[in-house]
A = this chain, B = another copy of it.
Amino acid sequence: MKLYYSSTSPYVRKCLIAAHELGLADRIELAPVVTMPTAHSPELMRDNPLCKLPTLVTDEGQALYDSRVVCEYLNDQGGGALIPAGGGKWAALVDQSLADGILDAALLMRYEVVLRPAERQWPAWRETQEEKACSALGQFERAVGGWPADRLDIGVIALASALSYLDLRFPDLDWRGPHPGLAAWFADFDQRPSMRATVLKA
């Protein structure tokens, strides 16, 4: 399998954490590409018209995207339970949505200040996205105390990826301060080999 890859993409990291947890990492060839909303990679474009990371090309040549589809495919390939079959399925999928929501907001915040010319930036937009991210973090903080210590599913993998992206791009946000339970959970989860093998690098 070929995975279009960037070391700064939190959605790529989500897939890689899943691959490591499923024992599939050594079956994935990484294809580094540089892509931004305003700068396309022609190679990636051929496999994904949206030109977004991650995109996985299977051994049969089928291009799969976005990260949710890739993670579900990897879970199937690995015979895993990252998407639980039973009652925990909907909680795991909703937590994935919530964590992806943090990331979507963080990426919009990032694009606002990195891509957009300074005079075209609109502080209210950044604030709105930050509110969404913080509201979602608050929900996780309220929930984390009720999780099994060894919880491992696509919801927490997405969450770990989102938190690591906040650390990479928004260190001043200090998400740990108001969310001590989440901070303690992440400190523990972040020691997993799947996390150590996939650290985001700017």
Contact = CB atoms under 8 A, between A and B. Distances in A.
Interface in A42-69: 45, 49-52, 62-66, 68-69
Q: How many copies does the complex hold?
A: 2
Nearest to A93: B69
A192 to B, nearest CB: 25
B120 A50 contact: no
A138 B98 contact: no
Interface majority SS on A: helix, strand, loop or mixed? helix
A41 interface: no
A122 B132 contact: no
A51 B132 CA distance: 8
B93 A72 contact: yes
A135 interface: yes
B45 A65 contact: no
Contacts of A100: 66
A69 B115 CA distance: 31
18 contacts: A37-B125, A37-B129, A37-B132, A38-B124, A49-B101, A50-B105, A50-B136, A51-B132, A62-B90, A62-B91, A64-B94, A65-B94, A65-B97, A66-B97, A69-B94, A73-B90, A120-B121, A120-B122
